[in-house]
Amino acid sequence: MAVPFPEPHETKLVPPDEAEVGLLGRGVCTAVAPDGGLTPLQRVLIRALFDSMTGFPVDPDAMAPITAEELALALRDRNEQFRARIVQVMLLCELILVPLPPEVSSRVEAFAAELGVDDGLLRVARRYAEGSLGLALIDFNRNGYTADWDPGATDHLHTSQALAEAWEMAPDDPALASRWAALEQCPDGSLGRRIWEFYRARGFTFPGLPGSAPPLLAQHDWVHIVADYGTTVESELEVFGLIGRAIPDPRGFSLLAMVIGLFETGYVHAAAGLFEYDRGHLSQEGMAVRLADAMRRGALCGRDLLAMDWFARADRPVEEVRAELGIVDKSAAAVAAGSVGPWEPGGISPYQLGAGRERAAAEARPYDSYGAAAADDASA
């Protein structure tokens, strides 16, 4: 039976102390461990998440088991939002398992039930465990960030027509394309000018033209600029880690689950109108630290960055917009682990660099990477 949520005057709102973090660590490790014990990726991710999000270390190998009821009782003075975020940590550490054992899915559901949390991604995880990827996609759409998509509430996208679906393309919207192209006239160092350079360097097509990304997906490109992340697959994991954790509605977590399915496990074959799966990127060295830091930055931001009217901020310096949104600097650990910005070596993929050069040649203009360079092409 679920432990009731506390009354507002009884709710504990301060960050967890070391003792409570230890209880949370025990709960997460117990809930997500397969029969053979935690996997290496689970261990490194749990360490990184707790260190980044709480400031206290957790050693997964030293966590004594705890029952779902014991954890829920220990969190009886925590509200639904706090408990939901703990369940999402469990989900994240569960969704990286391939295959996903049914017993892990059932155990995480049991912990969620005792905590009084009903997250739609629990059903997605169950479908993964059953091997029903098609049904999992249906549950994703029913329970994720875009489940309540409102075509009439998309003024921030500046499309000429309402979009019936969240990830709908807009390949024939000259006014939208012109708005993007006009960002070239924004002041040097401004958000608008920098994203115009970002697109030019990578050969990206402006929204509103054939071959462009869906307007909603293009919203995340601005986050690459304000949060200082490159455009390799690893950086995409960071961007969506930040975005997914920043959205106040817990359903925003589905965006992070989506890219984990795309770029780590392959459970998601295609998504967001443009992305296609490419497995194993979270498993790369340093990526757990980078993702955990991105989630920390998102939690401190606490805004829906996909719902921003970025054009309204286009003339302002990037640093000013970053400060307005509460996007703090990356941690030293994330930078040491390889996190790079869009204008640094490693901040652009070789494919994107080639696409930028090809487009420049096709338009009979000199190519300018604006400082961006692939990891193996620092001379660009």
- Give me the sign of the Cα torsion angle 304, 305, 310, 314: positive
Residue with tokens 């996909």: 306
Under 8 Å between Cβ of 58 and 51: yes
pLDDT tens for each residue of 23-82: 999 999 999 999 999 999 999 999 999 999 999 999 999 999 999 999 999 999 999 999
Average pLDDT, rounded, for the chain:
96
- The confidence band for 214, taking pLDDT boundaries of 50, 70 and 90, is very high
Q: For residue 380, is pLDDT > 50? A: no
Residue 205 near residue 223 (C-beta atoms within 8 A): no
4 CB burial (10 A radius; 0-12, 13-18, 19+) = exposed
Nearest to 272 by CA among 284, 286, 282, 258: 258
Residue 379 has pLDDT above 80, yes or no: no
**What is the predicted pLDDT for the residue at 378?**
47
Q: What is the pLDDT of residues 165-195, one digit of tens each?
A: 999 999 999 999 999 999 999 999 999 999 9
pLDDT, position 377: 63
* Closest listed residue to residue 242, CA positions, set 61, 33, 228, 125: 228
Read off the pLDDT band of 375 (50, 70, 90): confident
Alpha helices in the chain (DSSP H): 18-32, 40-54, 68-74, 80-95, 102-115, 121-130, 133-143, 174-181, 191-202, 215-227, 233-246, 253-260, 287-301, 318-324, 332-336, 350-362
d(CA 95, CA 31): 12
Tens digit of pLDDT for each residue in 139-163?
988 989 999 999 998 999 999 999 9
CA atoms within 13 A on the CB side of 245: 25
DSSP-derived secondary structure for 176-190: HHHHHHGGGGSPTTB
**What is the value of pTM for the model shown?**
0.97
The b-or-e profile of 173-194 (16+ CB within 10 A means b, else e) is: beebbebbeebeebeeebbbbb
> Mean pLDDT over residues 311-327, rounded?
98
- Would you state the structure tokens that stand for residue 14, as one six-digit string? 């301060």
pLDDT, tens only, 227-252? 999 999 999 999 999 999 999 999 99
Residues 174, 171: Cα–Cα separation, whole Å: 9
What's residue 141's pLDDT?
87
Using alpha carbons, select from 140, 66, 124 the residue that is nearest to residue 91: 124
Question: Using CA atoms, how far apart are residues 66 and 54, in angstroms rounded to an integer?
Answer: 20
